[in-house]
Amino acid sequence: MRIPCPYCGPRDSSEFAYLGDAAPRRPADGDAAAMATYVYLRDNPAGPMEELWYHAYGCRAWLVVRRDTRDHAVTGARLAAGREASA
């Protein structure tokens, strides 16, 4: 599986560390229940999903990678740092 890193170009997935679903946002208002949801609850969709990957053996950028969980087809990746602006 290859991930198109915006900095480094298409690279082998073994260079990356996987975190998981990119959708949850860290709650900023100190709500314990919302934080528990953020820390523990994840969806497990079959289909396209946006995920956080870290280019550990490359540029060390965190990426939002769009991957289909059914066939591992990767259809895009962008820097996590700019995700609010581009979303």
Partner 1 sequence: MSSHRLGTGGLVDRQTPIGFSFDGRPLTGLAGDTLASALVANGIRLVGRSFKYHRPRGIVSAGPEEPNALVEKGRGAYREPNTRATTVELYPGLDVASQNRWPSLRFDVQAIGQLASPLLAAGFYYKTFMWPAALWERLYEPAIRRAAGLGSLSGAPDPDFYEKAYAFCDLLVIGAGPAGLAAALTAGRAGARVILLEQDFALGGRLLAERCEIDGMPGAVWAREVEAELATLANVRILSRTAAFGLYDGEVGAVERLTDHLAVTPACMPRQRLWTLVAAQTVLAAGAVERPIVFGGNDRPGIMLASAMRSYIQRFAALPGRSVAVFTATDDGWRTAEAFARAGAPVAAVIDSRRDIVASVRALAGDVPVFLGARVLDAIGGQSLSAIEVIGDHGRRRIAVDGLAVSGGFNPDLAMTTHLGHKPRWSETSLAFLPDALPAHLVVAGAAAGRFTLAEALADGARLGAAAAGMAGKPAAAPPAWRASDETFAVGPLFHVEGGRGKAFVDLQNDVTDKDVAQSVHEGFVSVEHLKRYTTLGMATDQGRTSNVNGLAILARLTGRTIPETGSTRARPPHGPVAIGAFAGLHTGPHFKPTRLTAGHGWAEEQGAVFVETGQWLRAQWFPRPGETDWLESVTREVQAVRSGVGICDVSTLGKIALAGPDVGVFLDRVYCNTFSTLPVGKARYGLMLREDGFVMDDGTTARFGAEDYLLSTTTVNAGKVMQHLAFCHQVLWPELDVQMVSVTEQWAQFAVAGPQSRALLQQVFGSAVDLSDAAFPYLACGAFPLGPTMARLFRISFSGERAYEIAVPAGYGDALVRALMAGGRDLGVTPYGTEALAVMRIEKGHVAGAELNGQTVARDLGLGRMMSTKKDYIGRLMAERAALNDPDRPTLVGLKPTVPGVRLRAGAHFLPIGAAASAENDQGYMTSTAFSPSLGHWIGLGLLARGPERIGEQIRAYDPIRGGDAVVEVVNPVFIDPEGNRVHG
CA angle 65, 66, 72 (to 5 degrees): 105
Closest alpha carbon to 83 in 2, 4, 3, 6: 6
Taking the complex as a whole, the smallest distance from the CB of residue 1 to partner 1 amounts, in Å, to: 4
Whole-number minimum distance, CB 22 to partner 1, in Å? 8
Residues that bind partner 1 (CB under 8 A): 1-2, 13, 17, 19, 26, 30, 32, 35-36, 38-40, 52, 54, 56, 60-62, 71-73, 79-82, 84
DSSP β-ladder status, 48-54 and 17-21? antiparallel
What's the closest the beta carbon of residue 2 comes to partner 1, in angstroms?
Answer: 5
